[in-house]
Structure 1
Amino acid sequence: MKNVYYEHGCRVTEMAETRRNYLSSTNFILDVFSIIPTDLFLFVQYDASLLRLNRLFKCYRLFENFDLAQGRLKQVFISLMKIIVSCTLIFHWNACAFYIISSFSDTTSWDEVNATFDDDDGWPWPYMPDKITDVHFADCSHFEQTCDYQQVYFDEEREAHLVDLWHYWENRTIKVGFSTFTKAYVLSMYWSAMTMTTLGEQPSPNETMQSVFEILDTVLGMVLFAGIMGSVGDLVAKANKVKADWQQRMDGLKQFMTYRNLHAEFQRRVLKYCEYEMAKQEKMTEEEMRDTLPPKLYTQVNKYVQWSILKSSPLFDSCEVPFLKDLAIYLEPRDYGPGDVVCARGELNKEMLIVSSGYLRVVDPNDLPLRTFREGDVVEDRSLVWFPNNRYRNRRKYDVISVGYSQVYILFRDDLLHVLRDYPLCRETIRVKAEYMQSAAGDLVEENCSMDCEMYEGSTLEERLIAMRGVINVLENNVNENYEKFKKNSSSFKSRLAALERFCRDMLIQ
């Protein structure tokens, strides 16, 4: 009654709810029938063991275990285990039925003389202990020539010399005996497997009950065998699903390239890429995962995965976790083939790269390799912050090319500035770190950057308004100061002009 269940996707663990759900389910009825103490009837009649068949009502638990393992194991492994366990269980039940029918069959008319190792007609249909012998191992040495017997010349006449062979090997072997139960179970299981897989090669039944059971077994065996073959076929098809899909795509691409008369070099590159993807056996791409999961869940999963990637960057290793999780949404995966230029020399530093798989190589203008970036390395993270005193005017110094097939996560500078508007402390930390990293790399002309280098693009609207208000206040103060100076100068000019007019008038009067 403590079985946890899911209701509308929510895990229910309350005792009252789990008890109510269990008591109203079919499993409760099956469990009640399975625990009925039918064993007590054995005190009345000791050979009525079939009354214990009610225990089989618990077999539904087997399929529940498979359902619980769906999210923990691979589907191929679960399907394989379903086939093996189901076949073994059915073979076991059928072997038990065969042994029960054998126990009620008459074997007194069996002619032991007519039974041979290669002829099943002389053996009776039911189980008999004489059908399976104990194991004998040779207890003699070939070096001492105590095991030499010219039995190789018997060929098809070996059965005529069985008595001679028995007397010869009787004192030269070690007998490994098995219990009666082991012999009965092994032989019954062998008969069940051979019959239900429609292989046959068993003695013919000689009673009506045996014939009916053989017919039912054969029919059920054909159905079971068809089910097994279908399950195995589905298993193989699922295992090769990715390869088959890419084979179909390659066929379509070949027809398209032939129709368009593409150059042989382009065709080779396209087919090489298809072979690479087929070898990866990638069952789900980033886009398919985004389309499969709900948007909120995909965002959370993407944040968790990409956050650890961003944490490896020296530029962001000291930033707060919420900032990294918000920034992780903007990481975009890109695939590049052999020789593709990821970043070209002279381009503006608009993005940083994180190598997810493959190799990236930095080459100089003479195509000489300078450095190789491997999985987990960060490329040009310090260049996301622009400074006016940058020696290269915030442009790429070298080309970055893909050595083989590489997957790269790209973070654009505009996205970084957009997120930084909500994290002013991180903005200042990143600016200081980027300045230090670029100075250490020799990218800055001066060691200290002026206040104009501050990342104004990453500021919030409020901060921009405050900055504009400060600029306006400065302009107003300058205007007021100039106006006061203008008034003062105007007054002085008027006084001087008035004095000049009086002087000129006095001169004219004289």
Structure 2
Amino acid sequence: MASDREQDAEIALAMATSTNKFARLVRMMMLIKRWTTGQNQQETEERLDDRNMLMFKFFETVAGTKNLSIIGNHQEESMSWFNKIWHLSINETNNFYYRWSAIVMLSCIYNLVLIPVMIFAEFRQSYYKPWLVANAITDVVNLFDILIQSKREFMEDGVCITEPKAMLVKYFKSRDFILDLLSVTPSDLVMLIFPNLAFVRLNRLLKIHRIFDFMERTEIRTNFPHLFRLLRLIVVCFVIFHWNACVYFLLSILYGYQDSEMEDWVFSYEKILDPLLPKCNNRLYAGTCLFDEDGLDAHERHTYVDELLDFWEPKKYVREFSNLTKKYSLSFYWSSLTLVNLGEQPSPTQLSQMLFEIVDTLLGLVIFAIIVGDIGNMVTSMNLARSTFEEKKDGCKRYMRFRKVNQVLERKVVEWFEYTWTRGQAKVDESKIVEYLPSRLHGQMSVQIHMDTIRKVRLFQDCEAGLLYELVLRLHLQIFSPGDYICRKGDVGKDCEAGLLYELVLRLHLQIFSPGDYICRKGDVGKEMYIIKRGCLEVVSPDGLKVFATLNEGAVFGELSILNIPGNKNGNRRTASIRAVGYSDLYVLTKDDLWDAIREFPDAKKSLIDKGKEILRKDNLLKESDDEAELSDMEIEGIPIEERLSKIRKNLYKLEETINKYASSFHGGNAEMKRRITQLEQRYKTRKHSIQGLYSNMNIDF
């Protein structure tokens, strides 16, 4: 038995400390060990029953933590769940916390609205028990919210803190914890002695800070911020009017409203009578539902009022409303008139009534100023983009009049402004959004918007993801007007690395062209590649009279001119003139952006140039006889300074190697020559006399 307990302890330790695949591996090894020693497998099944596994998965889903093991006996299992809850952490930016905040917000609004309503006796008599049940539910929500808040992650020096003790200390030291703790104080126990003393629940209103927290998060998340602010303003005004109405009726109770009259300041039933409604329809039964006033003067009706009353007595009925409806509606009406400073109410007769009126007047002035200010801010925010756009357009029109621009061009500029506004281009400043977003988010957004477009270019298909990323960041928008000329010559090849495509997509930017604008003309030096995002372009003759082709959305042109392909017979010149038919949006990739992107992708660069050569070779536009020196010069043209310096540095290294090679050869030859001369001198010295005798016989002097 002791051995069995030791084995159980080993299994429990392994299952409690292991996680993920390693935990499952250790657990399986322990089970195999017990099976080989003849242990009953049913014990293991009892440890991992379905109920515990479901609860385990639930906590794992909510907390987002790693897998924890569930061990055998009940005590160890309880410890495991305690540890699981202890290590639970909640990210305040996820949907779970937002939805929970919505529940807490509803609980706070319930207390904010229902606590003062208990001043009405009819409400207490009719809804007292349901009110107690609802109070218990909201109190449970507040208690759970304390647990949720103690498990809320927080940022410290840019690092998300999920350590349980740190989260608890952070929450316990905060002001929110004190308010939350006071809000759940069981003040309801006083109602066991005084059932009608509902205001003992005022401490629940300390939870109101959670309403503001939810509103801030909703304002960030919603797609209709102006509508949300308007609804928030309406709710705030309603709550203020509601509380003021309840306080007014409380004063009416203190001063006694049962015997009050129409002219009294307090509530009076005479001020809100039940309406009298006719039983018959005047349109269908005009003969029986209309009093015959023929021969009578309508201006003298007071002389036959009794006859009118007798006539309508059997033809009317009273629409009776409950006392609660009358009390609350009249109190709310009085509150709204007073807070908006409309007056038209009976004058107060007591000091406390006067003080209450003064406070209401001051509060009404503040509320009125807040309402006017908030609505003004909302209107200003809603019209800010339009006002800024109109200011720019008016400034441009004044500038054109000052410079005496002809009417045709002025009308074209105004039409361009109208087009950009109607298409939504003027409402969103892409450059400011890009500057505000982090580079990573900007890259992800650019890839989602432009990746499909950039992959349509045959040259960039299957490029490296890194290069595509850089290209997307450099894309910018160009809008071409109808009749604008762009240009296009050939397509680019396939099988480009994905990293290069990723870099290229990030470098695209938008340009807008007006109708009739020339994007490029034949013979111009090509410095950009164009992708048609929206609009229609025409390939025309140099004089613009003949149309050769039409380019629609998704077409790409100008890619070969920015590659500096060696041997291109056209060089980097445009081979056709391109004109915009209507307003056209074009994404542009410049030569500098392309070379900057492919700088880190030498293999992709070589692949692009080879594919460009294949395209030119098919059109018989490639010179195959160009030597290597000429190719190098064409490659250097137009590329960034850093790339040129790198090429110069490589050439210097090669030149240095060549010089060192020739210097070494020279020194070796020089040493060999000296050695031979030395040998010759030595031989001459040893054979000097014989040589002199030989040459003396030949009559030669030395």
Quote the Cα distance in structure 2 between the aligned partners of 1:14 and 1:233: 46
Say whether the 8 Å CA contact 1:390–1:443 is kept in structure 2: no
Q: Which aligned pairs between 1:285-434 and structure 2 lie closer than 5 A?
A: 285-293=429-437, 305-307=449-451, 309-332=453-476, 333=509, 334-356=511-533, 358-365=534-541, 366-368=545-547, 370-374=549-553, 377-381=555-559, 384-385=562-563, 395-427=573-605, 429-431=607-609, 434=612
The sequence identity of aligned pairs, in percent, is 29
Unaligned runs of 5+ in 2: 1-149, 477-508, 666-702
> Distance in 2 between the 1:4 and 1:456 partners?
55
| Residue number among 196, 199, 204 corresponding to 1:55 in the alignment | 204
Q: Find the residue that maps to 1:337 and give its secondary structure.
A: strand
Between Structure 1 and Structure 2, which shows a larger proportion of helix residues? 2
Instruction: Supply the distance in 1 between the matched residues of 2:248 and 2:278 (Cα, whole angstroms).
Output: 31
| CA distance 1:265–1:142, change in 2 (3 Å) | same
- Aligned amino acid, residue 110 of structure 1: S
Instruction: After TM superposition, give the deviation of residue 107 of structure 1 in Å.
Output: 2.5
Task: Look up the match of 2:239.
Answer: 89
With normalisation by structure 2, the TM-score equals 0.55
CA contact (8 A) 1:99 1:127 kept: no
Letter in 2 for 1:245: T
Q: Which amino acid aligns with 1:81?
A: L
Distance across 2 between alignment mates of 1:348 and 1:259? 34
- Residue identity in the other structure for 2:402: Y
Shift of residue 70 of structure 1? 3.8
Three-state SS of the structure 2 residue aligned to 1:370 is: strand
C-alpha contact 1:311 1:324 (8 A) present in aligned 2: no
Counterparts in 2 of 1:180-329, with a 5 A limit? 180-279=323-422, 280=424, 282-293=426-437, 305-307=449-451, 309-329=453-473
Greater relative contact order: 1 or 2 (C-alpha under 8 angstroms, separation 6 or more)?
1
Question: What letter matches 1:126 in structure 2?
Answer: F
- Which deviates more, 427-436 or 27-36? 427-436
Per-residue deviation, 1:224: 0.3
Q: Which residue of 2 aligns with 1:79?
A: 229
Question: Contact 1:127–1:188 (CA<8 Å) still a contact in 2?
Answer: no
Aligned length: 459
Deviation at 1:50, TM superposition (A): 1.6
1:228-261: CA deviation from partner (whole Å, max 9, x where unpaired): 0011111111111122223333444444333333
**Mapped partners of 2:563, 2:425: distance in 1:** 39
Rounded to whole Å, the distance in 2 between the matches of 1:343 and 1:230 is 52
Change (3 A) 1:109 1:151: farther
CA root-mean-square deviation: 4.5
- Give the Cα–Cα distance (whole angstroms) in 2 for the partners of residues 231 and 156 of structure 1: 52
Q: Which runs of 5+ in 1 are unaligned?
A: 112-120, 481-510
Q: Give the distance between the partners of 2:425 and 2:593, measured in 1 at CA.
A: 32
- What amino acid maps onto 2:373 in structure 1? G
Aligned-partner SS, 1:71: helix
1:18-29 equivalences in 2 (<5 Å): 18-29=167-178
Report Cα offsets for 1:64-114 as digits up to 9, x if no partner: 112223432354234323312221222222222223223333234335xxx
Query: Equivalent residue of 1:411, what SS?
Result: strand
Partner AA of 1:149 in structure 2 = L
State the 1:324 CA deviation. 0.5
Aligned to 2:191: 42
Q: Which moved more, 1:284-293 or 1:210-219?
A: 284-293
Structure 2: which amino acid aligns with 1:286?
Answer: E
Distance, in Å, in 1 between the alignment partners of 2:428 and 2:345 is 49
> Quick one: which amino acid aligns to residue 96 of structure 1?
C
| Partner of residue 313, structure 2 | 167
Find the counterpart in structure 1 of residue 79 from structure 2.
none
Once residues 132 and 143 of structure 1 are traced to their aligned partners in structure 2, the CA distance between those partners, rounded to angstroms, is 28
- Amino acid paired to 2:252: S
Cα 1:370–1:25, aligned 2, differ >3 Å: closer, same or farther? same
**Structure 2 CA distance for partners of 1:317 and 1:101, relative to 1, 3 Å:** farther
1:65 alignment counterpart: 214
In the TM superposition, what is the alpha-carbon distance from 1:436 to its structure 2 partner? 6.5
